[in-house]
Structure 1
Amino acid sequence: MSWSDRRHLLRVLVPGLLAASLSGCGFQPMLAPGSPGAALSGRVLVDAPTDRAAFDLVDRLEQRLGRAETPAYRLSYSINLREQGLGVTPEGATTRYNLDGSITYALREIGGDAIVASGRVESFTSWSATGSTLSTLGAEEDARQRLMQILADQIVTRLLAAAP
């Protein structure tokens, strides 16, 4: 058997073996019908945003969990952002910024104060301030939006892992 024939055989067999091994271990997508994560899909009412960062957070949470049609849970959150300059020129001009963010969240049942899941997530993004004023403002806004998406994805991952 030539090497090309062996490679073809591996391309055919390996995906089938992987699929068989995953199905044998009980692997199931987190948001599949009947899975624990499906209990959250379209059922989490996120607190209304009060500023741009919260708007970006809520937007991403609703993209991932669905907009609450029949809410069974309420998600409250508290956003903490801190901006710090990193790169400084000999003249004292800041050329790079870091944006550190953390969110404390709590998932409660509607009609009660019992906490189903809670926690804290954190991450950071950066942007360069070496361009024009307009490009620097655009880069800063993009970094803030990316940070909220990262933090929202972390919250969703933890909520799905702790799904009721």
Structure 2
Amino acid sequence: MMRALAILLAATLSACGLQPMYAGGGSGVVAQGLSEIVVPAIPGRRGWLVRNALEERLGVAGEGSARYRLDVRLDDDLEALGVLNDDTISRERRILRARYQLVDIASGDILLDDTAGSDAGIDVVSSEYATIAAEQTALENLSREIADLIVTDISLALRPKP
């Protein structure tokens, strides 16, 4: 009975058109496409963090074998959320947004033009050092989140169309 149910379930899933994005592992179409992306320098510390996170996730092969270029522009904002009666800030929100374009280097065509963003809440405490450390940690975490969102979007764009 359980075996028949498993076979029926497998047949149902294959009929719905779902297919694995990373089929073929490292030699698959998506993995190969991701490794052919070069990420030019992005200005500032936040740019350095995002670029490193992107290169880590893309498995960049190097500029000599690059087929695509990923252009990224960042917008980083820190805004006060909680203001106490004495006009001191008790909570901040750090917002990191990225506008990115995936460009075919050979033709110059823009294959993907999109945005990604994330934000984090930060408690402002009496220690200025602790607050600055929390802001930096939030930026590091947001950089990784942005890189994940961008790579997922690019992976969807590079997967073979049925």
TM-score using structure 2 length:
0.80
Q: RMSD across aligned C-alpha pairs, in angstroms?
A: 2.6
Q: Which residue of structure 1 aligns with residue 54 of structure 2?
A: 61
Please give the secondary structure, in 2, of the residue aligned with 1:116.
strand
Q: What's the offset of the Cα at 1:143? A: 0.8
Structure 2 unmatched ranges of 5 or more: none
Cα 1:22–1:78, aligned 2, differ >3 Å: closer, same or farther?
Answer: same
Q: Which amino acid aligns with 1:80?
A: D
Cα 1:25–1:95, aligned 2, differ >3 Å: closer, same or farther?
Answer: same
Please give the secondary structure, in 2, of the residue aligned with 1:40.
helix
Structure of greater Rg? 1
Contact 2:97–2:116 (CA<8 Å) still a contact in 1? yes
Q: How many residues align?
A: 155
Q: What's the offset of the Cα at 1:105? A: 0.6
Structure 1 unmatched ranges of 5 or more: 1-8
Contact 2:42–2:73 (CA<8 Å) still a contact in 1? no
- Percent of aligned positions with the same letter in both sequences? 30
Residue 161, structure 1, aligned to residue 156, structure 2: yes
Residue 52, structure 1, aligned to residue 60, structure 2: no
Kindly report which structure 2 residues correspond to 1:1-150, keeping only aligned pairs within 5 A, or say none: 22=13, 25=16, 27-33=18-24, 35-69=28-62, 70-150=65-145
Counterpart Cα distance in 1 of 2:89 and 2:20: 45
Q: Which residue of structure 1 aligns with residue 146 of structure 2?
A: 151
